[in-house]
Amino acid sequence: MATTSGANNGTVADPAHDRKALSVLIVSTLAFTVCFMVWMMFGVIGVPIKKALNLNATEFGLLTAMPVLSGSLIRVPLGIWTDKFGGRIVFFSLMLACVGPIWLMSYATAYWHFLVIGLFVGLAGGSFSVGTPYVARWFPKKRQGFAMGVFGAGNSGAAVNKFVAPGLVVAFGWTMVPHVYAAVLLGTAVLFWFFTYSDESHKVASQASFSSQLKALKDPKVLKYCQYYSIVFGGYVALSLWMVQYYVGEYGLDIRVAALLAACFSLPGGVLRAIGGWMSDKHGAHNVTWWVLWVSWICLFLLSYPQTDFTIQTVTGLKTFHIGLNVYTFTALMFTLGIAFAFGKASVFKYISDDYGQNIGTISGIVGLAGGMGGFVLPIMFGGLMDLTGVRSSAFMLMYGVVWVSLIWMYWTEVRRTELMGRNALASPISQSFGR
């Protein structure tokens, strides 16, 4: 298809193609928002389920993490199928496949029921690895960062879940949430089919197997991007699932108020991803990611400090002091962290579009898998640390350590290497002049 190919290369202006690209971007972003809302469902309904089943923090972490596990593991094959068969049919089929399990969730009564059905509901989380290459290939390279950022803003489905689900839980009970979400997803799938398009030139002819595609993990750059994404996306998912019960337990808030404040992290963490994509196009993926990690490091350092009372001996006797974050300061820090994660999610995928433009589906699937696995492992570790230490802020201590690893890795593989290359470039003309 000559006009499409030309548009993707930025050499031919085609109004018809541009209209299709815009429609694909808007409707795909809506579909991803709904899928992400479904994926984060346990972040709200998990609170009454935890109370009804008398779960400890580790069991609650596993409950919320099960959909994240399946949604992560399916990302690589979905990315491969998108390359081979096209994003439209894969995205549509994925949404239809999730409707039934979501509806059945309301009939679960035992803990293992929720774990098993959660695995099937979690397939909706794999939609990111379908939509990213599907949307990106409709746009020229210089605009792919922004396009993927707009699509990635569908992460705000985590915030939508916090706006919608608490009201349903209070008014009708938690079982109403799966019914409503199943109906919404079915309607979105129909809308998606009628307002998106296919382009044969976007398919990648490949006979590679699943195992051969995973060989990309031998590439040090892919491993590095996986590490970055495990914090900016995995951390975002984990905290989106964890924050409602954190507010309820730490500050004694009602579930509706807790969900509203938790949305102060989830909403900017999703919506502002588009701005992160634009900034990555303009300033480069490295510069944006570098500052994202430093801002995250500072926020997590402050969030890690537990509520503390200590007593000291003074000349007038004993005095007790309290150090800890009140709910307003805590929420402000979470809001800042959400913005940083939003920019970071976009910048990591700008790395991918720059370095692996002909293989976006597979590489984005692998990196998305790593990020999703971070979102699976972290809530379980949050719960385990809380059961072990009794300190809720231990979740932020863990994430602080993960960010440290990312900063050190980036410094030695990018920042330090760039400095050395710059020095060598300056030294080279001098050496040549002495040689002459």
Per-residue tokens: 386: 């809380």
Q: How confident is the model at residue 113 (pLDDT cuts 50, 70, 90)?
A: very high
Segment among 1-5, 79-83, 250-254, 418-422 with least mean pLDDT: 1-5
pLDDT given for residue 397 in this prediction? 94
Instruction: Tell me how crowded residue 432 is: count the other CB atoms within 10 A of its CB.
Output: 9
Residue 97 makes CB contacts below 8 A (sequence gap 6+) with: 123
Task: Give CA 96 to chain center in angstroms.
Answer: 22
Interval 167-194 mean pLDDT: 94
- Map out the domains of the chain as residue ranges: 7-206+219-428
For 67-103, how does the pLDDT look when each residue is reduced to its tens digit (9 = 90+)? 999 988 888 788 778 878 888 999 999 999 999 999 9
- In CATH, the number for domain 7-206+219-428 is 1.20.1250.20
User: How far is it, in rounded angstroms, from Cα 39 to Cα 237?
Assistant: 9
For 396-436, how does the pLDDT look when each residue is reduced to its tens digit (9 = 90+)? 999 999 999 888 888 887 665 555 555 554 454 544 444 44
User: How far is it, in rounded angstroms, from Cα 78 to Cα 81?
Assistant: 5
pLDDT given for residue 205 in this prediction? 59
Average pLDDT, the chain: 84
pLDDT given for residue 81 in this prediction? 85
Task: Give CA 154 to chain center in angstroms.
Answer: 10
**Total-model pTM:** 0.77
The answer to whether 67 and 118 have CB atoms below 8 angstroms apart is yes
- 185 or 148: whose pLDDT is higher? 185
Interval 255-263 mean pLDDT: 91
User: How far is it, in rounded angstroms, from Cα 380 to Cα 374?
Assistant: 10
User: How far is it, in rounded angstroms, from Cα 366 to Cα 216?
Assistant: 8
